[in-house]
Every structure is written in C-alpha cells, then in structure tokens.
Structure 1
Amino acid sequence: MTISIASQEISEQQLDNEVVLSVEGVSKKFCRDLKRSLLYGVQDIATELVGIRQKSEKLRRDEFWALKDVSFQLRRGEALGLVGPNGSGKSTLLRIISGLIKPDSGFVEIKGRIAPLIALGAGFNPILTGRENIYANMSILGLSKKEIDERFEAVLDFAEIGAAIDAPVQTYSSGMAARLGFACAIYTEPDILLIDEVLAVGDIKFRAKCYRRLAKLREQGTSFILVSHNSHSILSICESAIYLLKGKVVTVGNTDSVVDKYEKDLFSNEIKNQAKLLSLTDKYESKQSDLNITALCFKDEQGNLTRSLLSGETTYFCVEFKAYKEIENVTLSFLIQETFGESEHVLCINTQQDGESWDILPGYYEIQLKMPYLGLKPSFYTLKLSISKNLYYMLDAVESFKFTVEGKGMSQCLFYQPRTWKLVRSHNI
C-alpha cells in the first residue's frame, strides 16, 4: 500500500513537471514593402513546391526579423507572461504557436489542445447566428458535437447574451462578440490558453468572472501564455515571464525580475524623451480668452522643477496661468489615466469638491497642489486638465500632459500606502 501511494505521488509530480509546449529557435521575418512581400511569398511557395527551398538566415531587401531565435518551455499548470513594447514580436509568437503562421526557422511542439484568445470573435461568421457560431468555433478548436452539446448551456450562461444567441452575429455589439468568443475558447477546456490583451472584455463584473474562470482552469492544469501591457495583470497571474525586444529575448525568469527589467528600460527611455513635456511655457497664448494656462510642472519641497517623480514622495503639481481680467469663482479639475492601462481614470481631482475656488485679478498666478505622499504606482500617465469659471464655464484646458512615476518595492501594488511601523510590548495575561 505504501509503495502504491509513493508511486501515485511520483506520477502526480511528473504530471506537474510535464512540458506541454516547447519552442526551439523560432525565427520569423517579414517584409515592410507590400509588393515585395507578395513577390517573396510567390517565390517561397514556388521553391517549396519543387522541394528546393532552404531555410535562410539572411534578410532580403526590406525584410526584418519579427522574431529571432526564441526558445522556451511551458509546463503543465504554468502561467507565462510575455512583456515588451509594441513591435517586439509578442503577438507574432502567439500566432506561430497557435499555427496561424509558420516560422522561417525553428519549431514548436505542442502536447494537448490549444485555444488562442487572440482576436475574440474574429473567426465568427457574421451571417450565422451565435448558436451556429458556437458549434463552428468550438469544433475548429477540437471538440465533437456531443462535447459541444454538453457544454452549450455553460457557454451561453457565461457569455451573457441571452436571446441574442439566435440572432446573426453581425447584429452583435463588439462586446457581445468578444464575450461569446471568450466563452467558446475557455469551455473547450484546453491544455494551453494563449491570451493576447483580451482580459478587458465586458464590464467590471464580467471581467471578474473571467479571472475566476481562468483561475479554475489553472487549478485543473491548464497552462497560460499571457500578453498584456498591464504589468499588474502579468504580476498577478504569472510566476514566470519573458521580455522580448525587437524580436529577441532580453531576459527570462521569475515575473518580478523580468517586469522590473522591462519597466526600468521603459522608464529610462521615457524620462530621456519627456524633458520638454514637463513645462508648457511655449504654449500658444490667446488674448481673446479671459485666462491662459502658461505652464504645467511638478516641483519638489524646495520649489525646484523635478523630472523624477517617486511614489511615496512629497510632490507639488503646479499650474501657471495668466488672467487678463478680473474673474470670480475660478476652479481647477484634472483627470489622470495610465497611458498603457485600460483607459480607466486612476485619479480625479476637482477644487470645487474640496471647497476651493478663487477670485482673481489680472496678472500671473500659480495654483499648487501639494501631495504629501504621491500615491500613484510606478508607470506612465496622461493628465487632462481644465480651469473653469463657476465650475461649468471653461476658461482654458490642456488635453494631454504626459509624465512618469518611478518607485521601488511596488511591483505588485496599485497605489502607495503611507505607513509607519512600531513595536509595542504586549501585556496579555
């Protein structure tokens, strides 16, 4: 009996360590010129048909490497994140793994069923009903009619499209089609899920349901590859990650270290390029207005202009403006959203809500907002600001002011929490 239990434990351990996806030396090149790309395609097909095509490591005119010598393994139940800027090859890699395109060199080995969540609803036939598309889509993903019959109601309940299931998909909103596509893919119960920036489908309630379902699949042994520009999603879901840049692997390892390297590279590049964005002194001045914003900037406690914003540090956000006449009840409001997030506002501030407004005379002024602890997490942000009279009459506005926040020890946090620590002696009896 003891031997049987030990054998079972060994078997389970081997199953946990089972490699379900192996990517070895995968490279893919594309051509930037459409006509030349078509010509190369015809040449490649012709040489392949006659059996003389050879794998070439050389680039032809106008070609570039979208992926170059990428290798990794994915084990059962593992969640792997892919990070990198736009154009780094993340989506190309997922398309190669899913079989949509072929690599120019290298190979991909897959053990089990794979479901790509790449372009939800893109494979639906717009003329067919939702019901008909469920059967067509899930059969393509490898399910028999009997299996689809057994899971049909679960797919319908998850997608939350109700009576629209018997209407043509072309009458669906983009959100409805995406929800149905997501439901079809996850209810195939795949061994590998490829997820490319699709975790923002639907409202907050539906997204929470998606995360719960993904967590359940993970417990059942499904492996994930997740592509997202939202670092928090990668950190929350994945224990390992790959950082791609211009088609090449920069680093592979645990998620914290990979994301930290990726964000440091992004921050260093962004900070170099944002020097002119910290001040708007060159903004066009219109004397036809009663008021003109002349500068936006951040300052430190000494009143010095700062280009380095740190989470948790005291920061002053300053708005300079010039008034051309006497104005009563002047208010300021601004919205901040994460540049690479899901377009949700992370901070909304209005002086009217804080009981602040000003009566001003002609001249130059600076409104200062003191933030004793900057609570924004390290990331890139876009700020939209307006100055108004009597709250509703807009005097001037800035549509897009970009800035960067840095910080340490906040890789898995959404905001900075001011805190102090204290050890006290307990007198429990």
Structure 2
Amino acid sequence: MIKLSNKEITVQPQNTEVVVSVENVSKKFCRDLKRSLVYGVQDIATELVAANRKGDTLRPKEFWALKDVSFQLRRGEALALIGSNGAGKSTLLRIISSLIKPDAGCARIRGRLAPLIALGAGFNPILTGRENIYANMSILGLSTKKIDERLQDVIDFAEISYAIDAPVQTYSSGMAARLGFACAVHIEPDILLIDEVLAVGDIKFRMKCHRRLAKLREQGTAFILVSHNPAAILNVCDSAAYLSQGKLIATGSVDSVVQKYEEDLNLSSAEKSVGQIFLPKKPESESTGIDIVSLCFKDEQGNVMETLLSGETASLCVECKAYREIAKANLCVTVTAIGGERERIFYLTSGSDNEDLKVLPGKVELQMYMPFCCLSAGVYSAKIFIKEGAYSFDAVESFRFTVKANNAAHESLFYQPRQWKIINS
C-alpha cells in the first residue's frame, strides 16, 4: 500500500489480476437432432418473454457436457485442460470465447481474448489473405491503424508473402492455419485459448510458434491450453484442471493433476492390462516354425510383474514353442502409448542390435532385458513378432501393460538413468 498526498493507493502485483473467472458453468446438449431443434425454439421463446429457462435441469435426451465447473486464471498464468475425449474441454473453451452460451453459471473475461481453436476457420475463402488479415484482426479487436502497423509482421510470420494477394480458397490447409495463428498472436492478447493447434506446419515453424508464445507470456498473456501432448503440458503450463464427463475432478499443480488423470486412466484400462497373457495353442500342421505361447514382464527374481515402475529393472519375456531350429531369429517390439494420439514410443529389434537369437526345437523363452524401464507413467500397447530375415513366424498385435512412476520421476516424459558426480579442482 502506497500513501501519496493523503491518499492511499493499493498496488496489486501484476500476476494477481484475474483475467478469466469461470463460475459454476454448466452446458447441456441433446443427442436427438429433431428434439434439439424443438428445445432451441422453446428456449428462444422463453428468453423473449423473460421467463425462467430452467437451465439447471435436464430434459429428455439431454446430457451434461459441463456441470458446475469453476476456476480462475490470472495474468501470466498458463492452465492446462486435460481429460479424455468428450470430457468437455473444447466446450469449455467455446463458452469462454463466447461462441456458445452456458445454460447455467457464467464466464467473465477481462481483457482482449484470442481463441486459437480452429485456425483459419473464420476466413472468407473468396477474399485474399491480405483482406482476411484485416477482417480477422478487426473481429479480434484491433483498429485499422494498428492492423496497418502489424500487417507486414503477420505476413512475415506466416511465411506466405508469395500468396498474400491470392484468394484464401487457393491456400492449402497448412497455409490457412499459419495465417490464422499469425493473426491471433499479433493482436497481443491478454488471454490465449489454445485447442490442439500447436502442430502447425513443419518443425521449424512450430519452434517459431513456441518462441512467440513464450514471448507473449513474458509480456503477461495468460494461456488456457488443451493438449494430449505431455511435452506441451509439462513445458508450457504451471497449473492444470482435470475434466471427466463434464465435471471438474481436480485442479492444482500440473504434476498432481496429471498424476490423478493417469491413475484414473490406468484404472479404467485395468481390465485390459494384465500381467501375463497366454495364446491359444496351434497344431504343428498350422505352425510356421515357431509360435508365441505367452507374454509377460518379469522382475530380476523371475516373478511376473503386474505393472512396471519407471527406473526399475524388467524383462519382456516371450515364451515360444519351436518346431525346428532357427539360426537367426529376430525378436521385434513396437510400443505405442494408449490414449492421446496413440503415438509410437519406440521400435526395437534384436536384429538391429546385432543379436542373432539361435532357437532350438522345443520350448524356449526370448527375453528383452531392460536395466531401467524408461517409460513414464501410463498405459501402453506392445506389438511383438518374431522374424528371420523378411519372413515372419508369429505375432501378437496388442499386449497391454501399465507403467507407474514415483513422485520423483512423474514430471518427466521418460526415466533418464543417471549418476551424480562432483569434481574438485
């Protein structure tokens, strides 16, 4: 508090200013199109006569996309919205950006807002890129004079100067997305809503986008980020909110909220993630030479592991039945993350490591020994197959397993084996 000329002025730190306040927001939708149209007409008529819409109750065929969601975002903060598909994340962003109205509660915005939800979706395809810049940035709140000042910066950032005076309908989807991103970030907004749009263009352009976003945040711009990319969440955001079936489950630090989300994800997949699986036996007449009998992970004592732990030792064990000698068997393992974009995590083969596995007739167990499990917490699917050269003997398309992490490893995208040293001069 500062006293000046007998007047007391309270000075608030910049980061305490609330720029987004969501208070008990609820939104419902109808699964039946005809009934939805009827409800729409009824709601309009109710508003015209200033009657009570009863937005807090469900009518037949309706469901809650959001129910009693509340949180605040302060200047310069970055909030991650996480949850599975259909959790209500995009619906919440559309309410905050005033694209749709909530049925109950309210969302208060303080400052200029730029929604990066569907880049280029609002462009007029008949107008040129230059004309669309003026139209788009005017809608986002800039005067013509300010657009004139920033026009060349937008064009240079989007890297489409060669086509800026061509109609947008001649642009590729990537060109239109780059132009939409450039328009949004150059209005220098107070709040940015980012919905899975940071995969714009090639890697060089994406790096430029991240640098621009970092600069905006240094200037006090607040972010709300929806992403299934752990790197974006961990590296950009300092807090998170977890939504499930329209309800706010948890808010707080990124680490604690992501851990809660992953625990729920693991529990929901528990019935499909088992410690060991056994494959149906084949008669020798149907075998191609070697058949996979069972799959599991084992610890150093040879015990079957129900779940793996980041940083701990584990062996992937592939029990087989061989009907002939195979001089150079090649064990191949592809691991994919379950959920999000189902991205491939790694592809490993004994052949690429110059390890020729000699298999003799009878029962045999092929192992991939991992001194450290480097996967972060989550649910994964492994595809395992056995080859010799280009010829495949047998394959298992999906072996699900779960990885857990202790608190020390949870904030990382993978476990890094390490040693700490100090060298005294």
* TM-score of the pair, normalised by structure 2: 0.88
Distance (whole Å) between structure 2 residues aligned to residue 202 and residue 398 of structure 1: 35
Q: Where does 1:356-367 land on structure 2 (aligned, <5 Å)?
A: 356-367=355-366
Q: Is the 8 A contact 1:27 1:66 kept in 2?
A: yes
Give 3-state SS (helix, strand or coil) of 1:271's partner.
coil
1:131-182 CA-partner distances (Å, limit 9, x unpaired): 3333332222122333223222222222234524344434444333322222
2:59 equivalent in structure 1? 60
2:95 equivalent in structure 1? 96
1:189 equivalent in structure 2? 188
Distance (whole Å) between structure 2 residues aligned to residue 387 and residue 173 of structure 1: 42
**Could you tell me which of 274, 281, 292 is aligned with 2:279?**
281
Distance (whole Å) between structure 2 residues aligned to residue 363 and residue 129 of structure 1: 71
Q: Which moved more, 1:344-353 or 1:100-109?
A: 344-353
1:104-132 CA-partner distances (Å, limit 9, x unpaired): 01112111111111122222334444333
Please say if 1:20 is aligned against 2:14.
no
Distance (whole Å) between structure 2 residues aligned to residue 77 and residue 247 of structure 1: 26
1:212 equivalent in structure 2? 211
- The letter of the residue matching 2:178 is R
Please say if 1:81 is aligned against 2:80.
yes
Distance (whole Å) between structure 1 residues aligned to residue 343 and residue 319 of structure 2: 27
- CA-atom RMSD in angstroms: 2.8
User: Shift of residue 287 of structure 1?
Assistant: 1.6
Q: Which moved more, 1:109-118 or 1:243-252?
A: 243-252
- The letter of the residue matching 2:395 is A
Distance (whole Å) between structure 2 residues aligned to residue 278 and residue 205 of structure 1: 43
Please say if 1:222 is aligned against 2:221.
yes
2:394 equivalent in structure 1? 396
- The letter of the residue matching 1:186 is V
Give 3-state SS (helix, strand or coil) of 2:286's partner.
coil
Q: Which moved more, 1:116-125 or 1:281-290?
A: 281-290
- The letter of the residue matching 2:403 is V
1:373 equivalent in structure 2? 372
1:70-125 CA-partner distances (Å, limit 9, x unpaired): 12221111111212222221111111000111000111211111111112222233
Distance (whole Å) between structure 2 residues aligned to residue 132 and residue 381 of structure 1: 47
User: Shift of residue 317 of structure 1?
Assistant: 0.8
Q: Where does 1:26-65 land on structure 2 (aligned, <5 Å)?
A: 26-65=25-64
Give 3-state SS (helix, strand or coil) of 2:207's partner.
helix
Give 3-state SS (helix, strand or coil) of 1:380's partner.
strand
Q: Is the 8 A contact 2:43 2:53 kept in 1?
A: no
2:122 equivalent in structure 1? 123
- The letter of the residue matching 1:281 is L
Q: Where does 1:296-335 land on structure 2 (aligned, <5 Å)?
A: 296-335=295-334
Please say if 1:406 is aligned against 2:404.
yes
* TM-score of the pair, normalised by structure 1: 0.88
User: Shift of residue 214 of structure 1?
Assistant: 0.8
1:212-247 CA-partner distances (Å, limit 9, x unpaired): 111100011111111122344223222222222222
Q: Is the 8 A contact 2:307 2:401 kept in 1?
A: no
User: Shift of residue 396 of structure 1?
Assistant: 3.4
Q: Which moved more, 1:148-157 or 1:34-43?
A: 148-157
Give 3-state SS (helix, strand or coil) of 1:146's partner.
helix
In structure 2, the CA distance between the partners of 1:166 and 1:362, relative to structure 1 (3 Å rule), is: farther
Give 3-state SS (helix, strand or coil) of 2:410's partner.
coil
Gaps of at least 5 residues in structure 1 are none
Distance (whole Å) between structure 1 residues aligned to residue 244 and residue 282 of structure 2: 38
User: Shift of residue 10 of structure 1?
Assistant: 6.3
Distance (whole Å) between structure 1 residues aligned to residue 59 and residue 120 of structure 2: 35
User: Shift of residue 325 of structure 1?
Assistant: 4.2
1:301-354 CA-partner distances (Å, limit 9, x unpaired): 222222211001110012233444444432122332333455543323121221
- The letter of the residue matching 1:195 is I
Give 3-state SS (helix, strand or coil) of 1:221's partner.
coil
Q: Is the 8 A contact 1:293 1:319 kept in 2?
A: yes
In structure 2, the CA distance between the partners of 1:318 and 1:103, relative to structure 1 (3 Å rule), is: same
User: Shift of residue 68 of structure 1?
Assistant: 1.3
In structure 2, the CA distance between the partners of 1:47 and 1:156, relative to structure 1 (3 Å rule), is: same
Give 3-state SS (helix, strand or coil) of 2:257's partner.
helix
Aligned length in residues: 419
In structure 2, the CA distance between the partners of 1:15 and 1:284, relative to structure 1 (3 Å rule), is: farther
1:336 equivalent in structure 2? 335
Give 3-state SS (helix, strand or coil) of 1:410's partner.
helix
- The letter of the residue matching 1:81 is A
- The letter of the residue matching 2:159 is E
Gaps of at least 5 residues in structure 2 are none
Q: Is the 8 A contact 1:200 1:342 kept in 2?
A: no
Q: Is the 8 A contact 2:75 2:220 kept in 1?
A: yes
Distance (whole Å) between structure 2 residues aligned to residue 72 and residue 226 of structure 1: 14
Distance (whole Å) between structure 1 residues aligned to residue 170 and residue 299 of structure 2: 54
Please say if 1:382 is aligned against 2:381.
yes
Q: Percent identity?
A: 61
2:173 equivalent in structure 1? 174
Distance (whole Å) between structure 1 residues aligned to residue 65 and residue 193 of structure 2: 19
1:282-317 CA-partner distances (Å, limit 9, x unpaired): 488892634443433212222222221100111001
Give 3-state SS (helix, strand or coil) of 2:409's partner.
coil
1:146 equivalent in structure 2? 145
In structure 2, the CA distance between the partners of 1:266 and 1:362, relative to structure 1 (3 Å rule), is: same
User: Shift of residue 183 of structure 1?
Assistant: 1.7
Over 6 Å off, 4+ runs: 283-286
Give 3-state SS (helix, strand or coil) of 2:301's partner.
coil
Q: Which moved more, 1:94-103 or 1:25-34?
A: 25-34
Distance (whole Å) between structure 2 residues aligned to residue 255 and residue 217 of structure 1: 21
Q: Is the 8 A contact 2:300 2:314 kept in 1?
A: yes
Q: Is the 8 A contact 2:272 2:400 kept in 1?
A: no
